[in-house]
């Protein structure tokens, strides 16, 4: 038997989809700037990439404020409880229709693996992308801050590594979004806010 519960508030859904659009924009334009293909042209790609980056920074600043003022930051506190069960479920259980080992509630929206993945994004991927991106953006003022001897190639490699890590996270995230009781149930929940749970 399943029940419908309201999981994702309006701002969470706005934040999620806005972030998705901006990250996709930055991946598309960033790989063009890197020389992987030509879509907008180098100068426009750089411009779109920079605009999307500043929009994403603004969104994150507001999201951090929202999470702390509403107490929703608690949803992201990592836990190792049931991690092994979640790994087993995603490795084999999902293909044998085993019961999901985590019961989603309004107070516990994310399973233990999701929490660890979001922590990894927050502490590793985002800082790598943002610090290398800002260094790239403000390359002309490096000497003013004693960074004249920093090899630009190192910054470029760090930024590309961060981009590939974000791309891998994005692909896995989209795949796992289709791993609900139907392949669209989690996606619908992120559109309407309502999730059906067993």
Distances (CA, A) of 60 to 18, 19, 20, 22, 156: 10, 9, 12, 11, 23
CATH architecture of 3-197: Up-down Bundle (1.20)
What is the band of 24 on the pLDDT scale with cuts at 50, 70, 90?
Answer: very high
* Distance in angstroms (rounded) separating the CA atoms of residues 156 and 146: 19
Q: Cβ(8)–Cβ(110) under 8 Å?
A: no
pLDDT at res. 106: 87
The runs of H, that is alpha helices, within the chain are: 10-33, 42-70, 83-91, 112-120, 126-137, 152-177, 185-192
Mean pLDDT for the stretch of residues 181-188: 87
pLDDT digits (tens, 9 = 90+) for 53-92: 999 999 999 999 999 999 999 999 999 999 999 999 988 9
Q: Is the pTM of this model over 0.85?
A: yes
* pLDDT tier at 50, thresholds 50, 70, 90: very high
Judged by phi (left if over 0) then psi (alpha if -120 to 50, else beta), residue 195 lies in beta
When pLDDT is cut at 50, 70 and 90, the band that residue 1 belongs to is: low
CB of 186 closer than 8 Å to CB of 177: yes
Bridge pairing between strands 3-6 and 194-197 = antiparallel
124-172 pLDDT, tens digit per residue, is 999 999 999 999 999 999 999 999 899 999 999 999 999 999 999 999 9
């Amino acid at each position: 038997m399943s029940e419908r519960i309201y999981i994702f508030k309006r701002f969470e859904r706005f934040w999620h989809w806005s972030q998705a659009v901006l990250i996709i924009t930055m991946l598309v334009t960033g790989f063009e700037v890197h020389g992987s293909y030509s879509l907008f042209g180098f100068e426009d790609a750089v411009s779109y990439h920079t605009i999307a980056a500043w929009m994403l920074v603004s969104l994150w600043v507001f999201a951090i404020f929202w999470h702390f003022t509403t107490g929703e930051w608690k949803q992201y506190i990592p836990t190792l409880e049931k991690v092994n069960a979640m790994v087993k479920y995603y490795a084999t259980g999902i293909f044998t229709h085993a019961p999901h080992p985590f019961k989603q509630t309004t107070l516990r929206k994310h399973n233990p693996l999701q929490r660890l993945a979001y922590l990894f994004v927050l502490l590793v991927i985002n800082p790598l992308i943002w610090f290398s991106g800002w260094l790239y953006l403000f390359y002309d003022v490096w000497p003013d801050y004693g960074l004249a001897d920093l090899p630009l190639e190192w910054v470029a490699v760090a930024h590309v590594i961060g981009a590939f890590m974000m791309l891998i996270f994005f692909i896995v995230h989209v795949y796992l979004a289709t791993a609900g009781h139907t392949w669209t149930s989690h996606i619908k929940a992120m559109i309407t806010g309502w999730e059906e749970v067993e």
